Amino acid sequence: MSEKKRLDLEYSQLESDRMRINVGPQHPSTHGVLRLEVEIEGEIVTEVVPHLGYLHRSFEKHCEKMTYPQIIPYIDRIDYIAAMNNEWPYVMAMEKLMGIQIPEKVEFIRVIMAELNRIANHQIAVATFGLDAGAFTPFLFFFRDREYIIWILEKMSGARLLYNYFRIGGLAGDVYPGFKEDCLNIVKQVRKTNAEVMDLLIYNRIFIQRTANVGILPADVAINYACSGPVLRGSGVKYDLRKDETYSIYNRFDFDIPVGTGEVGTLGDCWDRNMVRVNEMEQSCRIIEQAIAQMPDEGDVQSAIPKRIKPPVGEVYMRAENPKGDLGFYIVSNGTDKPERVKARGTSFVNLSVIPEISKGYMFADLILILGSIDIVLGEVDR
């Protein structure tokens, strides 16, 4: 059959009023190499099917061939925007498995690093969400501030994005002189920019019109889909592992869990999810301030690192509050220096699964905003 004839046949079988389009993997606002197969009727989305796997790097299989400390750099590459937060549940799981008591100073530095990285992650999330809505200027404001945070993390670990800083039982290095002042300056700068962005973006009339009452995720649906992090809290569920399943030294700090309130629209809409992130930046600032004040100056951050890492036979699951939700690692040890199995519970993967549920019936432009409000990183979806 000739090319022309075959095409005619195909077209005659198609419905005339619906159009299937591929959003991605080279689309500017899929936040990575995600492909959404979208069926639209005019401008209304009738069906969304996410296709994954464009960034699959076979993380879990790789882990089985490497020693425990060698795995840490790979973990950075899961959610490359919040690498410090990624390393934490893994090293905590290993410490739990091997029964290591870590020095107090290490805990403080870990908390500060994780919270700084949480701020950096939320800055990207809010910035790109604004970009999806067409506002370019807040994007650059946030990226300017994020640069200062990256500088601190770079001075601490030597890398800008993939830090490889946490060690099983300690850290790669101690704080540098002037670290506390830098952190306090960052906190000041983050608050200043947030106040500015509140006027410029968050309470902008057009932005509210675009995001309020769009992509409503009811609390029960969010729980059924096992959503976590700001996606779940945006629906009004007060669930945060830092409070509910306190790990490390989070019980020593005074901070709140921001939840969605439905302030400008319905509870659980895109605006709420975004607002939770903005509020969480403020809470992270509070934690950093308290941690800086309480942090001991003395102490060796490497004293508890074991010489040989060879955990006993057994299995362990540990999870921590990642900026995007709870990230967990399930590790099975067979008594050698290499794990039998490492399973990661990727937050973005779980949160992404809710997209087909909440984006039906909205306009095509809303679909992009809903995707942006979920805040996914494809490295974590595909692993």
Partner 1 sequence: MENVNFIYDLLGKNFIAIILVISLPLMFVLVYALAAILAELKVSAWIQERLGPMRTGPWGILQPIAEVVKLIQKEDITPDKANKPLYNLAPFIIFTGAYAAFAVIPFSEYFVPAGINLGLFYVFAVGSISAIGLVMGGWASNNKYSLMGAMRSVAQLISYEIPAAMAILSIVVLASTMNMQEINKLQSGWFWNWFIFGGPGSITKIWVIPFTIGLSLIYFISSLAETNRVPFDIPEGESELVAGFHTEYSGMKFAMFFFAEYANMFIVAAILATIFLGGWNSPFDTFMQGPIWGAFWFISKAFSVVFVQIWLRWTLPRFRVDQLMYVGWKVLLPISFVCFLAVSLFVMLK
Shortest Cβ 110–partner 1 spacing (Å): 33
Rounded to whole angstroms, the Cα distance separating 348 from 371 reads: 11
**CB nearer partner 1, residue 264 or residue 304:** 264
Shortest Cβ 25–partner 1 spacing (Å): 13
Q: Which of 201, 285, 195, 275 is nearest to 236 (CA)?
A: 275
Shortest Cβ 123–partner 1 spacing (Å): 15
Shortest Cβ 146–partner 1 spacing (Å): 14
Burial (CB count <10 Å: 0-12, 13-18, 19+), residue 38: buried
Rounded to whole angstroms, the Cα distance separating 91 from 323 reads: 17
From residue 14, how far is each of 36, 38, 233, 286 by CA, in Å?
20, 15, 42, 57
Q: For residue 32, what is the enclosing H or E element?
A: none
For residue 9, the 8-state DSSP code is H
Q: Residue 24: what are its φ and ψ, rounded to 5°?
A: 95, 180
**CB nearer partner 1, residue 29 or residue 248:** 29
Shortest Cβ 214–partner 1 spacing (Å): 9
**CB nearer partner 1, residue 36 or residue 113:** 36
**CB nearer partner 1, residue 21 or residue 313:** 21
Sign of CA dihedral 322, 328, 334, 340: negative
**CB nearer partner 1, residue 53 or residue 134:** 134
**CB nearer partner 1, residue 204 or residue 228:** 204
SS3 of 84, please? helix
What's the one-letter identity of residue 140?
L
Shortest Cβ 215–partner 1 spacing (Å): 13
Rounded to whole angstroms, the Cα distance separating 310 from 61 reads: 19
CA within 13 Å, CB half, 337: 9
Shortest Cβ 133–partner 1 spacing (Å): 4
Tokens for 339, please give them: 């794990």
Residues of the shown chain interacting with partner 1 in the complex, contacts defined by CB under 8 A: 19, 21, 27-29, 43, 130-137, 140-141, 144, 200-201, 204, 206-207, 209-210, 363-366, 368
The residue written with tokens 């299989």 in the block is: 61
**CB nearer partner 1, residue 4 or residue 308:** 4
From residue 237, how far is each of 165, 222, 223, 380 by CA, in Å?
32, 9, 9, 23
**CB nearer partner 1, residue 30 or residue 284:** 30
Sign of CA dihedral 161, 153, 139, 201: positive
Cβ 196 vs Cβ 188: under 8 Å = no
**CB nearer partner 1, residue 164 or residue 213:** 213
Shortest Cβ 196–partner 1 spacing (Å): 10
Q: For residue 78, what is the enclosing H or E element?
A: none
Shortest Cβ 44–partner 1 spacing (Å): 10
